[in-house]
Amino acid sequence: MTDVAPPTTKKDWSSDQEVRWCPGCGDYSILTAVQMLMPELNVRRENTVFVSGIGCSSRFPYYMNTYGMHSIHGRAPAIATGLAVARPDLDVWVITGDGDGLSIGGNHLIHALRRNVNLTILLFNNQIYGLTKGQYSPTSEVGKVTKSTPFGSVDWPFNPLSLALGAEATFVARTHDLDRKHMMETFRRAHEHKGAAFVEIFQNCNVFNDGAFEQITAKDNRSHMLIPLEHGRPIRFGPDGEKGVALDGQGRAAIVNVADVGEDALVVHDEKRPEPGLAFMLTRLSHGPYEPTPIGVFRAVERPTYGDQIQRQLLDAQSRSGPGDLAKLLSSGSTWEV
Amino acid sequence: MTVGGNSLTDTAEHPLQTLDRVVIRFAGDSGDGMQLTGDRFTSVSALFGNDLSTLPDYPAEIRAPAGTLAGVSAFQVSIADHDILTPGDAPNVLVAMNPAALKANLKDLLSGGTILVNVDAFDERNLVKAGYEANPLTDDSLAGYTVYEVPMTSLTLEAAKPTGAKPRDAERSKNFFALGLVSWMYTRPVEDTLQWIAARFAKTPTVAESNALAFKAGYNFGETAELFDSAYEVKPTHFDPGTYTNISGNTAIAWGLVAAGQLANLPVFLGSYPITPASDILHELSKHKNFGVRTMQAEDEIAGVGAALGAAFGGHLGVTTTSGPGVVLKSETIGLAVSMELPLVIIDIQRGGPSTGLPTKTEQADLLLAVYGRHGESPLPVVAAKTPSDCFFAAIEAVRIAVKYRTPVILLSDGYLANGTEPWRLPAVEDLPEISAPFTTEPNGTDAAGNPVYLPFLRDPETLARPWAVPGTPGLEHRIGGLEKSDPTGNISYDPANHEHMVRTRAAKVAGIAKDIPPVEVDDQEGAELLVLGWGSTYGSIGAAVAAARAGGRKVAQAHLTHLSPFPANLGEVLSRYRRVIVPEMNLGQLSRMVRAEFLVDARAVSKVQGQPFKASEIQAAIDEALESLQSEARA
Ligand code: SF4
């Protein structure tokens, strides 16, 4: 891009609105990460739009000094699709949560992903309904006791990344709210991606689901519970890199001791594999935030975006039939003179 | 001259009778191509210069079981040498391709009318399927009609022989045999249809050939068979000079949207989900990408309107097309548009409800849904089209209001207008109304420190419309949403007084549109005490009924509404001039309820909910009844 945006600071990207999340909420650090990243992206405030649904995370657009829409529950991906298709010149971000994006709005999310609409979608996963004061969500674990499930939830949860890969999203990543650097790097990659970029962020709701991710994201637990994915590198983790991911006899991804299988047996991470199968297996390594869990970019492949293809059809039509001529249109059926 | 031969005879050996109007209904199985046949007859008649009006009537199932009553598909067309308003109450001529088609349609036929049957289809099996215990062709039950038994299937097979097509395939050309025969009966030009067949079936030459042969065979059969006493002619209508085309309501809406986009200088964005009877608008708009029209077939109704609203936020002309079930799904998003005050056009092609109801049949029962069907106080303008060609202007009017007042607008059409057609004199592009949709590009206020800021809810004092600043405009970055907004900053506000102020302001904005729409016109008659008030597609039937009532010496006034929210400013005064107001509508009394509530007038509904438009005679009867009751009240 030759266009160089004027330099900005975090402050330029912060609106004058008082941030109203609960003190200690993980949303704050995500907001800070985004506001700190924006000046590094060479983008303009006026060309940036944040679209959200309903929920705690969906208040996000009010705090960004950009264009923004706080829409209705679950519909942000659909609304943002219209905006991104109409205005390919804009940088459109979608802010959603596990209830907003995976429950009431699940349909729109999967369709935005399969169409590869040029959107950067950040899903704040706190595994609970915060704004409605603590009901279980579609990512809550089985047995979750909440106000609406006093005897424990019996719903099998969604794994957001498995879902996104099932929809053949072209960019799929995961990060968490306790690591600003990792968040910024992941968001930067998502923003760079042409097409639908889907990022799941483990986010702590300290009021209704405090510590949901602590077992894997707390500073002391990270090295043996988070599996960093780095393109072109063998997948290894553990304080001394003693663990890794290899394919077992049945072709399933499994966690192994590097000493047992040898370094060469480890899976070398490849974001660009055309088939989402292996990335999907990586999302299945952990069944909840209490087992070693991969983070980083799972998949980043190129496919024509929805908006570009629509744009191309418009241009083709114009070069084929010339720009629209209303009088010609009206007389395009069979006509007769009186 | 040979029956089913290859050449057309044009020496008229039969006397020619002149008619001023004829109503023909083509009826057959839904696989028999009756819609195509009717359409073709319509086009030829339009080119010939007749005024016309059509009523397609087909089942919801694509191929209901062949030969059954459920599978009957019909197409009624009325052609005349004068201006007509409706496709006719009762056909003079019924073309019945099988027993089921005869059984389903006979009750509508004018007594003494003409029936052309495909006698080949009247076998035991088909008679049973249609529920006939005896063959109606032989049991005298059709004694009151003139019946022509024509072996259409066998003559078609005979005619198509030179093509070498298998009988199964050749047999499918029998609708063109029927078309040929009716074309002869009503002295329609043939060349145009032959050209059309060649073009339409260019990819399948054998089909083209057998259709053409069947068509000619049908025409020649009329000419040569000794069956018919005479052929008929319906002379061209006197039309105002101009270029005409035959247009359906759905095409007119699509073209109206394209035109409105050009007039407003806004790219059109249609977000839509397939639904009967609205899908044809999506199809038509998808063809016109060279106008910069973007169409998106969304994953569901909600996404269709959501995408349109997103595009509207981006400065496009956001439109969504649907029918009643879709409007219900879109309601929440429409409410968001009311709250954010963004232009959006929602087009509801009404069909029979509730629920899935009668997908392919017409109804006007979404009026209250359109005007009131959202939670909270969420008023919006509602516009209704009255004829197929009026759909073009109604679409432009809906867009004009939406962009000028930054509001969602619901445009109501219905299945009857959507698929019905009429000749339309093409308007000159330069005569179309102007639509102004200026974007705000500069800050319009200052903050406490005196710095220039953008206040998204600082309204135009005249229209109460808020400014429209689109992303990409430097310095006007702002956030809007469904939460209540503070006036004029747009920031979230839970202040009680601000909420009441915003609710009242949004209502005042919509109510104020009454100043910007034409007053309702009354087609009055000196001394009339009865007003027939209508809206939407009842226009034609009401007009025909009022004309007939007047011809019979009655005094009746007529008024028709295009704007249903807000009402024209003079409506209350107009209603107060009449002792009685009747409102024919295809629902159980929705407009009548609205005007009673608004104006405290004794407006009485004349209801019909059969999935079929009113017959003029039905409204005429209601007029007579209303006049009688006025008289007896006067006597009492
Ligand atoms: S309820 Fe939970 S998610 Fe919502 S703001 Fe409070 S801490 Fe954050």
Tokens of B113: 């009318």
pLDDT at B228: 83
Q: How confident is the model at residue B47 (pLDDT cuts 50, 70, 90)?
A: confident
For residue B488, cis peptide bond before it (omega within 30 degrees of 0): yes
**Partner A contacted by B267 (CB < 8 A):** yes
Atom index in ligand 1 nearest the CA of residue A134 equals 1
- Indicate the CATH number for domain B246-431: 3.40.50.970
pLDDT higher than threshold 80 for residue B304:
yes
Distances (CA, A) of B466 to A46, A261, B458: 20, 67, 6
- Ligand 1 centre to CA of A207 (Å) is 6
The pLDDT value recorded for residue B229 is: 78
User: CA of B426: which chain A residue's CA is closest?
Assistant: A330
pLDDT at B8: 46
| Higher-scoring residue by pLDDT: B47, A273 | A273
pLDDT, mean of residues A72-89: 98
pLDDT for res A213: 97
Q: For ligand 1, atom 3, name the residue with the nearest CA.
A: A205
Interface of A with B in 15-54 (CB under 8 A): 15, 17, 44-49, 51, 54
pLDDT-derived band at B634, boundaries 50, 70, 90: confident
State the DSSP string of B525-565. Answer: -TT--EEEEEEGGGHHHHHHHHHHHHHTT---EEEEESEEE
Q: What is the pLDDT of residue B305?
A: 98
Q: What is the mean pLDDT of residues B255-266?
A: 97
Which residue is closest to A114 within chain B, CA to CA? B299
pLDDT(A231) > 50: yes
Amino acid at site B464: L
CB neighbour list of residue B269: distance below 8 Å, 6 or more residues apart: A82, A85, A86, B293, B294, B295, B296, B307, B308, B311, B312, B316, B317, B318, B319
Mean pLDDT within B196-219: 95
Contact A259, A240 (CB under 8 A): no
How do residues B110-139 score in pLDDT, each as one tens digit? Answer: 999 999 999 999 999 999 999 999 999 999
Q: Determine whether the shortest distance from the Cβ of A56 to ligand 1 is under 6 A.
A: yes
Least confident of A69-73, A296-300, B27-31, B572-576: B27-31
Q: What is the residue extent of each domain of chain B?
A: 2-234, 246-431, 522-635
Ordered alpha helix ranges (H), B121-160 = 124-129, 152-160
pLDDT tens-digit readout, B451-507: 999 999 999 999 999 999 999 999 999 999 999 999 999 999 999 999 999 999 999
State the angle between helix axes of B191-200 and B174-185 in degrees (0 to 180), rounded to the nearest 10: 160
What's residue B256's pLDDT?
98
**% residues pLDDT > 70 (chain B):** 98
Q: Which amino acid is at B610?
A: Q
Helix (H) or strand (E) holding B484: none
Comparing CB atoms, the residue among A71, A89, A334 nearest residue B482 is: A71
Identify the residue among A66, A72, A114 best suited for mutation to test binding to B, counting B beta carbons within 10 A and taking the highest. Answer: A72
Burial of A187 (0-12, 13-18, 19+ CB in 10 A): buried
Query: pLDDT by residue (tens digit) across A125-143?
Result: 999 999 999 999 999 999 9
Inter-chain contact A338–B291, Cβ cutoff 8 Å? no
Q: Which of A199-203, B226-230, B570-574 has the lowest mean pLDDT?
A: B226-230
Strands A253-257 and A243-247: antiparallel
User: Between 3.40.50.920, 3.30.565.10, 3.40.50.170, 3.40.50.300, what CATH number should domain B522-635 receive?
Assistant: 3.40.50.920
Q: What is the distance of C-alpha B57 from the center of its chain?
A: 12
pLDDT at A336: 86
Mean pLDDT of B12-33: 87
**3-class secondary structure, A23:** coil
At residue B438 the predicted structure's pLDDT band, cuts being 50, 70 and 90, is confident
Q: Measuring CA to CA, which residue among B172, B197, B222, B220 is closest to residue B34?
A: B172
Mean pLDDT in residue range A85-97: 98
Q: What does the pLDDT read at residue B4? A: 34
Contact assignment for B481 to A326 by CB distance below 8 Å:
no
Q: Which amino acid is residue A238, in one-letter code? A: G
Contacts of A2-8 with CB under 8 Å at 24 or more apart are A3/A42, A4/A42, A5/A42, A5/A43, A5/A44, A6/A44, A7/A39, A8/A38, A8/A39, A8/A45
Does the pLDDT at position B390 exceed 90? yes
What are the tens digits of pLDDT across the range A198-211?
999 999 999 999 99
Contacting residues of B for A68, CB less than 8 Å apart: 477-481
Predicted confidence at residue A333, as pLDDT, reads: 87
pLDDT of residue A153: 96
**pLDDT-based confidence at A2, cuts 50/70/90?**
low
> Global pTM?
0.92
- State the average pLDDT over residues B37-43: 94
Q: For residues B55 and B25, give the distance between their C-alpha atoms in angstroms, rounded to a whole number.
A: 9
Q: Does B136 touch chain A (CB under 8 A)?
A: no
Could you tell me the CA-to-CA distances from B533 to A140, B364, B584 in Å, in that order?
58, 14, 7
Can you identify the CATH homologous superfamily of domain B2-234?
Pyruvate-ferredoxin oxidoreductase, PFOR, domain III (3.40.920.10)
What tokens appear for A114 in the block?
Answer: 């399969």
Max Cα distance, chain A (Å): 92
Check if A130 has its Cβ closer than 6 Å to any atom of ligand 1: yes
Task: Using DSSP bridges, classify how beta strands A293-300 and A171-176 pair: parallel, antiparallel or unpaired.
Answer: antiparallel
Nearest-10 Cα torsion for B466, B471, B472, B475: 60
Residue B10 has pLDDT above 80, yes or no: no
pLDDT confidence of B2, banded at 50, 70, 90? very low
User: Can you tell me the distance from the alpha carbon of B144 to that of B16, in angstroms, rounded to the nearest whole number?
Assistant: 23
Query: What CA–CA distances, in Å, run from B21 to B24, B53, B613?
Result: 10, 11, 20
CA distance B67 to B73: 11
Position B6 pLDDT exceeds 80: no
- Residue A317, SS3? helix
Residues of B whose CB is below 8 A from A71: 306, 309, 336, 481-482
Q: How many helices (H) and strands (E) does chain A have?
A: 12, 12
Instruction: Name the pLDDT band for B16 (thresholds 50, 70, 90).
Output: confident
> Measured between CB atoms, does B376 come within 8 Å of chain A?
no
* Mutate-to-test residue for ligand 1 from A20, A56, A96, A135, highest number of ligand atoms within 8 A of CB: A56
Nearest to A236 by CA among A276, A270, A269, A272: A269
Question: Is the preceding omega at residue B151 within 30 degrees of 0, hence cis?
Answer: no
pLDDT average, residue stretch B357-370: 96
Query: Which pLDDT does position B230 carry in this prediction?
Result: 82
For chains A and B, what is the number of CB pairs under 8 angstroms? 207
Residue A19 Cβ contacting ligand 1 at under 6 Å? no
pLDDT at B7: 41
Phi, psi for B205 (deg, rounded to 5): -55, -35
Please, which residues 239-258 of chain B have a Cβ atom closer than 8 Å to chain A? 239-247, 251, 255, 258
Q: What is the pLDDT of residue B62?
A: 78
* B292 secondary structure, DSSP code: T
A219 contacts: CB under 8 Å, gap ≥ 6: A178
Residue holding tokens 């009778």?
Answer: B17
Centre a 10 Å sphere on the Cβ of residue B503 and count the other Cβ atoms it contains: 15
Digit-coded pLDDT (tens) for B592-615: 999 999 999 999 999 999 999 999
- Is the dihedral angle over the CA atoms A78, A103, B409, B60 positive or is it negative? positive
CA A1, CA A8: separation in Å to the nearest integer?
A: 18
| DSSP one-letter string for B334-385 | HHHHHHHT--EEEEEEE-B-STT-BTTS---TTHHHHHH-SSSS----EEE-
Of all residues in chain A, the one with the smallest CA distance to B454 is A67
- What does the longest C-alpha to C-alpha distance in chain B come to? 96
The per-residue pLDDT of chain B, averaged, comes to 94
User: Average pLDDT in the B371-390 region?
Assistant: 98
Nearest to A201 by CA among A25, A4, A9, A16: A25
Which domains are present in chain A?
10-212+304-310 (3.40.50.970)
Q: How confident is the model at residue B65 (pLDDT cuts 50, 70, 90)?
A: confident
Does the CB of A65 have a partner CB in chain B at under 8 Å? Answer: yes
Q: Which of A82, A88, A47, A85 is nearest to A64 (CA)?
A: A47
**Per the CB < 8 Å rule, is B309 touching A323?**
no
Q: With beta carbons less than 8 A apart as the criterion, state whether B86 and B541 touch.
A: yes
- Confidence check: pLDDT of A283 > 50: yes
CA nearest to A138, candidates A115, A117, A162: A162
Residue B372 neighbours by CB under 8 Å, 6+ apart: none
Beta strands in chain A (DSSP E): 48-52, 67-70, 91-97, 120-125, 171-176, 197-202, 226-229, 236-237, 243-247, 253-257, 293-300, 335-337
